[in-house]
Amino acid sequence: MNKLMKYLSDYKKESVLAPLFKLLEAFFELLVPLVMASIIDRGINAGGAGGADTAHIWRMGLCLLALAVVGLVSSITAQFFAAKAAVGFSAKLRQALFDHIQGLDFTNIDKAGTSTMITRMTSDVNQIQSGVNLVLRLFLRSPIIVFGAMIMAFTIDVKSALVFVVAIPLLAIVVFGIMIWTMPLYKKVQANLDKVLGITRENLTGVRVIRAFHQEEVEEGRFRGFTKALADSQIFVGKISAVMNPVTYVIVNGAIIFLIYIGAVQVNVGNLTQGEVVAIINYMSQILVELVKLANLIITVTKALACADRVAGVFEIRNQERTAATGISEGMGGAKAPDSAGRAQGAGAASLDVGGTPFLHFDHVSLTYAGAGAETLHDIDFTVNRGETIGVIGGTGSGKSSLVNLIPGFYPVTGGHLRLEGRDIGQIPEDELRGMVGMVPQKAVLFKGTIRSNLQWGKPDATEEEMWQAIDTAQAREVVEGKRGKLDAEIAQNGKNLSGGQRQRLTIARALVRSPRILILDDSASALDYATDAKLRTAIRGLEGGTTTFIVSQRASSIRHADKIVVLDDGEMAGIGTHDELLENCEVYREIYFSQYPEERLKAAGAGNGTSGNRSDREKGGQSHGSR
């Protein structure tokens, strides 16, 4: 909790005034039993049997009213300052937490989990806010009332006040003992809440898949299991916390019984007046009320401390320093002997720029995700010249998206080196690197707002001319012009008021607005028809400025005319080259291509039968170059 207190620094005045006004209220409250004693002893009993000092009773009654009014004003003022400080603190904490999460790399976000991040930004911060509010209001007031009441009782009668000396330590043992017991249990409750939120988010995101496979009952069962675990943990800790109130009532009421007995004896012998006995009992009742408040405060503070530890844990997550990876030793460049899969590991090493330094160089790159048992990418080695179009193709799970996610630094290279213009990606400042790359992910994501505001994510100061140029390149003009307001047309959250193809074209336009040096299309045209896809690829190839384009696609037609095509198979390069070269030399590419164009397989088979060469010899040669 101490690590989070810096977010309360802007509310020092409120943090001081709130408890001070509460102390003022407590001071006036401690005077009430003395006024009541005066009313009884000097007012009601003043005239002896059947008599009363009415004037004194009225004076003391007005005094009670004045104490009540001043106490109410003090309480309201304290509530105002406490609420202002608590809400301001939580707003700053939530903003700082959001900013920190936004700065985390994908590895850390994957490790922490999306549901955990959401829980800590919402439920946990709300619990901390409640804790700060109650602490400012009651943390000083309740102890002052408790010990103040005991001191006031001693001023009235020492013998009777000894009951307080026994009762208060017993109450402290109960309250703080339960607090120590329940604190780790509240952490467990919040962890179970993470799980419930996680499965809720998963089911809402995948609701169409669940219904398509008729798995509603299975998912309902899983949800019931998680919610039952959460309910059980909450009920268990709730039972422990519920013990606090009855135990404190038993102790305090037992103390009141003793006070009444001792007071009666003292009144009989003439050592105490009736008003003083009533005052001592009122002080014990005040202690009871304050200890109930303190018990509730302890429960809330316990929850807040548990949540504060969880939030502080997020702040402790730090990105790794952006330094060069050293997973594979230096000097591994150049052509190498074929590996066990029959692929030359130095494939692509000859495609250097005129100056000898390639624009982008995957130098025996490997990638292992945090917590993964095996490498996702292994020994990826090829080069890219400026302005080239690179196609990336492979089966599902072959590592296509993982490969292109390395370029903008979303994930760190865990082996080998990835160099951009001779500089290791890990050594390029993040802002500079991201400014060079335009990324269109697999899932088209649009934000609530307008078409204009979405395009300005790519370039905040983009002109309308630049926007329309990007829209034309992305083949989205008909989408924009078909909307009322055109660039100012409203976009629903996640682009729900657009079709899949429209969302994809607008996300491509958003990436193109910034005129990136490297454009990555990660299977971002899957919802487009073949004609629109072809127009899009033609327009991208015609971009000025020598944009280097990576096209990840399951369609062979989408990458057929690329300058180089990288074929991935189970995280390894199965081949690299042009379409014709790969058809000749790469078995994996042939399988993919012929599965999409079976008529081409028949033509190839006929051509093979009519030639003097042996097709099996060609296939063997191709496997030695590009198959596993």
User: What is the pLDDT at residue 613?
Assistant: 44
User: What is the pLDDT at residue 77?
Assistant: 93
Indicate if the alpha-carbon torsion angle 466, 471, 473, 478 is positive or negative. Answer: negative
pLDDT tens for each residue of 447-469: 888 888 888 887 888 888 888 98
Is the pLDDT at 320 greater than 80? The verdict is no
**Measuring CA to CA, how many Å separate 257 from each of 107, 152, 280, 292?**
63, 19, 12, 19
Other Cβ atoms within 10 Å of 577 Cβ, number: 22
Mean pLDDT confidence for 69-73: 91
User: What is the pLDDT at residue 83?
Assistant: 92
- 486 contacts: CB under 8 Å, gap ≥ 6: 451, 480
pLDDT range class, residue 1, cuts 50, 70, 90: low
pLDDT range class, residue 626, cuts 50, 70, 90: very low
Q: What is the 3-state secondary structure (H, E, C) of 125-138?
A: HHHHHHHHHHHHHH
**Phi, psi (degrees; rounded to nearest 5) at 596:** -95, -25
Round to whole Å and give the CA distance between 401 and 410.
11
Residues 222, 224, 230, 231, Cα dihedral to 10°: -170
Classify residue 330 by burial, with Cβ atoms within 10 Å: 0-12, 13-18, 19+. Answer: exposed
**Please, what is the average pLDDT of the chain?**
81
Whether the CB-CB separation of 324 and 426 falls below 8 Å is answered with: yes
Mean pLDDT confidence for 513-526: 85
Beta bridge partners of 550: 390, 520
Is the pLDDT at 265 greater than 80? The verdict is yes
Classify residue 393 by burial, with Cβ atoms within 10 Å: 0-12, 13-18, 19+. Answer: buried
Is the pLDDT at 73 greater than 90? The verdict is yes
Is the pLDDT at 84 greater than 90? The verdict is yes
Beta bridge partners of 361: 383, 419
Round to whole Å and give the CA distance between 541 and 75.
71
CA atoms within 13 A on the CB side of 40: 14
State the Cα angle at 57 between 52 and 63, rounded to 5°: 165
Whether the CB-CB separation of 142 and 290 falls below 8 Å is answered with: yes
Indicate if the alpha-carbon torsion angle 306, 307, 310, 311 is positive or negative. Answer: negative
pLDDT range class, residue 69, cuts 50, 70, 90: very high
Mean pLDDT confidence for 231-239: 90
Which range is least confidently modeled, 213-217, 295-299, 333-337, 542-546?
333-337
Mean pLDDT confidence for 173-183: 80
**Measuring CA to CA, how many Å separate 550 from each of 180, 308, 524, 547, 566?**
57, 44, 11, 10, 10
Other Cβ atoms within 10 Å of 66 Cβ, number: 12
pLDDT tens for each residue of 351-369: 444 456 788 999 999 988 8
User: What is the pLDDT at residue 352?
Assistant: 45
Mean pLDDT confidence for 173-190: 81
pLDDT range class, residue 607, cuts 50, 70, 90: low
Round to whole Å and give the CA distance between 171 and 177.
10
Is the pLDDT at 609 greater than 50? The verdict is yes
Whether the CB-CB separation of 97 and 315 falls below 8 Å is answered with: yes
**Phi, psi (degrees; rounded to nearest 5) at 51:** -115, 165
Indicate if the alpha-carbon torsion angle 458, 459, 464, 469 is positive or negative. Answer: negative
**Phi, psi (degrees; rounded to nearest 5) at 389:** -105, 120
Is the pLDDT at 340 greater than 70? The verdict is no
Distance of CA 155 to the CA centre of its chain: 56
